[in-house]
Amino acid sequence: MRSRARRRRRRERLTFLVSLGVIVAAIATTVYVARTRITPFAFMLQSVNAPAAKAFDHFDFSTYWLATHGQPSLPIHGQAAYLVDLDARQVLWQRDAETPRPPASLTKLVTAMVAVDDAGSLDRTVEVTKEATKIIPSVMGLTAGERLTVRDLLYGLFLDSGNDAAEALATGIVPRDRFLRQMNQKAKSIGLAASHFVTPSGLDAPGHAMSAHDLAHTAAYLDTYYPQLATVAATKDVAITATATHKAFFPHNLNRLLWNYAGATGLKTGLTDGAGGCMLATATRDGRHLIAVVLNATLHSTDDAAVLLNYGFNVHPSRAFGPFAA
């Protein structure tokens, strides 16, 4: 009996030592490969449009220039405002930029990006649901059962600020609840820290909010990684010819800056009872790119954005720091 017990203990010790040796060898191999591998591991995961989470520009806007130069008193009516130089990555003027507020139709920038991600192509056809046609006000004029391309719906979304177009995109590609989850996932993945979405249109709803800072970040991201959407947003008027699957549409851009501000390139207007008048404006002059956000400035949002842009083009920050900052 004692002999069998000794043999069993020897087998157990041998099994333990062999197992330990295997674990040590595996760890040593992993460390060696990690230290000697020249090229990174290639994971064959591809995205239709958006860049990988670690690959995209995070648009970290610095307040260094603002801290060292201050900001003048400008006649801005908005409760929140934010002006950034996209090239210098510097904040030039701000007011309560981090507080989450109702963003009204500025929401539709995220709606558009998620729709493009889901569709994979602007030529994909979407059938308008009955639910989408019940959303008012501010509509493209859709009828239930019509079939339009994602591109056509994006014109209605950006130019007419069509809430029906937003709902058509949110219900015609994937289920609406999934689309809303994707909007919040998109916000998190691109670094929006004070945004939460409850509707795809931006109509007032409890918990639906974005900060002025997040909106500038969203505009920079859209302009960089979704240039086709920036092109749509910069369009003044477009005629969508009638087909066998839908009537004709004539979206007209509500952004007055495209007509009367030199260098204006977009991007979106917004208005609800809770949000007040909102404006997300982009402009380019002499190779410089500015983004101005104004929230809750009913009757003044467009003029406020123009004031901010004028100021921004009259100062010249750089990306340098310390005593060498311009």
Catalytic residues: 105, 108, 161
Round to whole Å and give the CA distance between 180 and 158: 19
Side-chain half-sphere CA neighbours of 89 within 13 A:
10
* Helices of type H across the chain: 2-36, 64-69, 108-119, 150-158, 163-172, 176-189, 212-225, 227-233, 257-260, 301-314
Give the count of beta carbons closer than 10 Å to the beta carbon of residue 133: 19
Distance of CA 164 to the CA centre of its chain: 20
> Interior CA angle at 137 toward 129 and 101, to 5°?
105
Q: What is the dihedral of CA 131, 136, 142, 146, to 10 degrees?
A: 0
